[in-house]
Structure 1
Amino acid sequence: MPPMKPYTVVRLLLKCALAMATLAITIRLLHEFDDLLNEPIEEFSLEKYPYVPPDPNWDSRSPCPALNALANHGFLPHDGRGATQREYIRALRQGYNLSLPLATFLTVSGHVLLSQYSLLSLADLSRHNCIEHDASLGHWDTLVTQEYAPDKPSTWLLDRVLAHSSDGETMTLRDLAEARLEREADYAHPLDAVHEEIARGEMSMVLGIFGGKDGCVPVDWLREWWEHERFPQGFKPNRQQTLFDTVRGSWNIKQAMKSMGKKLEHEGREVDGNGGSD
């Protein structure tokens, strides 16, 4: 058997370390599972948890409007610094009514992708190509000279997303899938499989949390939450978002994107066949 190359050994060791770290976090949370399961989750209330804008000179924020909104309303520590896994799980359940398995999965996978297994500040999530990724619908890509992505939303990009609303008032699954397809078309190379799934999962949760029974998200709500990172007046997370809901929604977005992509490809071939041009 030929000896393994040095980089192969390093990759193997890193994978082992990652697996052990994931196992350690999971075991610790399993020991606390009864406490987490029976922990009373305070009722969502914008009167008790009003919006307080972040201090730009001190408070830590991420490229994720969902977590920034939780900090701006005090469901997470307002400074966004050094939160525990338990604090993230509790805030996701209270602010968005995520099921315990989904809140735990997001928290653990976030720590694993960042290779950071203790306290986590929101700014840590800006580290490029860990959880944060190119082709975001809400913020610009990380510059090649920088390690961390912008944590401020882009009004221009958000306007581009909301322009896909088919009725000007709500965003449907198809509208968001169309926005994702357009954004990813700007790139010569597709996102890798992990970040494709993250990107679709983000939109799946937006639809599930804010979309209500009909799955239509009010444009005004989306702008308020995404651009200003605050919960819109009138919103209350009455419907629980589960891990299964999120996976199913991501798959539906993927299928919609695939269908639209094939249609665009077919229309392009027809134009070329008729001697037209793009």
Structure 2
Amino acid sequence: MAKMSLHSTSLHHLLLKYALVTALMAVVVKMITAVHDLTLIDVPPFSLDTHPFVPPKTSDSRSPCPALNTLANHGMLRHDGREITRTDYIRALRQGYNLSLPLATFLTISGHVLLSQYSTLSLSDLGRHNFIEHNASLGHWDAVGDEEYAPDKTSSSLISQLVNQSTDGRTMSMRDLSAARILREKAYSRPLDSLHEEIARGEMSMVLGIFGRGNESVPISWIEEWWKNETFPRDFVPEHEQTLWKTVRGSWKINMLMRTMRAEAGISTWLLRHLVW
């Protein structure tokens, strides 16, 4: 009887191991197939003649993100902004902003994971407060009180505050954008959590990489046209590929720069308070 019980237990363990290995193999095959399928996504060339700007209707879904709204306004994403698939997000990000496949895939999958929505995403879903959207945006106001969604409209006054940080009045450098982030966050008694700090810096890194053409300096006219009107500047062409590594590196540089600038400001404040004339 004991031998039969021992044999039965061993058989159960063997079947369990077989089931786990089979399940693991199925997951690996599915991942390999999914990656292979992503490499086969056809990415049309960037063309504002083929994809002219069409203003959104009041019934269209839009997000607090000017990058995605612009893609929808130009028809690179569904113009109504509703029930968009992962493949369509990846294709549009690559077509409109020349993101590398790893970066476009990372942003798309991360969005689904953070929102816990794994099929399709409407643009308005991205406005759910404190999931991907966060306080202290450089372009839109915060969600009010306990509202679930943040405003999806760009604030002209916030954009003006942003571009006023330009040191030359014509372009926005990494230092200028870092100064704008410091100024915006200064109004809050509590800092952003680490996740949303990283998201905020990553947004600025991509703006610099995409519109700065790799030289980390963006024309103010482009920022205003793109961010305020959610349309591509007429003379913009995404010639510079924005990779995941470049985005991470840019975010790290912005972080270091913000720390240095805050430290310098702290020293200056201390000197003003304690300097004896």
| TM-score of the two chains, using structure 2 as the length reference | 0.88
Unpaired segments ≥5 residues, structure 1: 1-23
**CA distance in structure 1 between the aligned counterparts of 2:173 and 2:27, rounded to whole angstroms:** 36
**CA distance in structure 2 between the aligned counterparts of 1:197 and 1:30, rounded to whole angstroms:** 29
**CA distance in structure 2 between the aligned counterparts of 1:254 and 1:181, rounded to whole angstroms:** 11
**CA distance in structure 2 between the aligned counterparts of 1:50 and 1:166, rounded to whole angstroms:** 33
Structure-2 change in CA distance of 1:144 and 1:27 (3 Å): farther
Question: 1:214: Cα distance to partner?
Answer: 2.1
**CA distance in structure 2 between the aligned counterparts of 1:28 and 1:106, rounded to whole angstroms:** 20
2:109 partner letter: V
Judge conservation of contact 1:54–1:72 (CA < 8 Å) in 2. Answer: yes
**CA distance in structure 1 between the aligned counterparts of 2:261 and 2:272, rounded to whole angstroms:** 16
**CA distance in structure 2 between the aligned counterparts of 1:141 and 1:163, rounded to whole angstroms:** 21
Question: In the alignment, what sits opposite 2:128?
Answer: 127
Judge conservation of contact 1:164–1:175 (CA < 8 Å) in 2. Answer: yes
Question: In the alignment, what sits opposite 1:63?
Answer: 64
Question: In the alignment, what sits opposite 1:20?
Answer: none
Question: In the alignment, what sits opposite 2:246?
Answer: 245
**CA distance in structure 2 between the aligned counterparts of 1:258 and 1:111, rounded to whole angstroms:** 31
What pairs with 1:111-260 in structure 2 (closer than 5 Å)?
Answer: 111-260=112-261
Question: 1:29: Cα distance to partner?
Answer: 5.8
- Partner of 1:32: helix, strand, or coil? helix
Structure-2 change in CA distance of 1:27 and 1:186 (3 Å): farther
Bigger mean CA deviation after superposition, 186-195 or 213-222: 213-222
Question: 1:36: Cα distance to partner?
Answer: 1.7
Structure-2 change in CA distance of 1:25 and 1:242 (3 Å): farther
Question: 1:65: Cα distance to partner?
Answer: 0.1
Judge conservation of contact 1:25–1:117 (CA < 8 Å) in 2. Answer: no
Question: In the alignment, what sits opposite 2:95?
Answer: 94
1:229 partner letter: E
**CA distance in structure 2 between the aligned counterparts of 1:184 and 1:225, rounded to whole angstroms:** 23
Question: 1:144: Cα distance to partner?
Answer: 1.0
Q: CA RMSD in A?
A: 1.7
Judge conservation of contact 1:70–1:76 (CA < 8 Å) in 2. Answer: yes
Judge conservation of contact 2:209–2:215 (CA < 8 Å) in 1. Answer: no
Structure-2 change in CA distance of 1:35 and 1:150 (3 Å): same
**CA distance in structure 2 between the aligned counterparts of 1:174 and 1:122, rounded to whole angstroms:** 31
Question: 1:237: Cα distance to partner?
Answer: 0.4
- Partner of 1:90: helix, strand, or coil? helix
Question: 1:271: Cα distance to partner?
Answer: 1.2
Structure-2 change in CA distance of 1:30 and 1:164 (3 Å): farther
Question: In the alignment, what sits opposite 1:31?
Answer: 33
- Partner of 2:131: helix, strand, or coil? coil
| 1:52 maps onto 2:59 in alignment | no
Deviations 1:98-136 (A, max 9, x none): 000000000010011111111100000000000000000
**CA distance in structure 2 between the aligned counterparts of 1:105 and 1:90, rounded to whole angstroms:** 13
1:209 partner letter: I
Question: 1:41: Cα distance to partner?
Answer: 1.3
Judge conservation of contact 1:126–1:132 (CA < 8 Å) in 2. Answer: yes
1:50 partner letter: P
- Partner of 1:217: helix, strand, or coil? strand
Judge conservation of contact 1:205–1:241 (CA < 8 Å) in 2. Answer: yes
Bigger mean CA deviation after superposition, 204-213 or 190-199: 204-213
2:37 partner letter: D
**CA distance in structure 2 between the aligned counterparts of 1:60 and 1:191, rounded to whole angstroms:** 27
Unpaired segments ≥5 residues, structure 2: 1-25
Question: 1:31: Cα distance to partner?
Answer: 2.0
Question: 1:25: Cα distance to partner?
Answer: 10
Identity %: 57
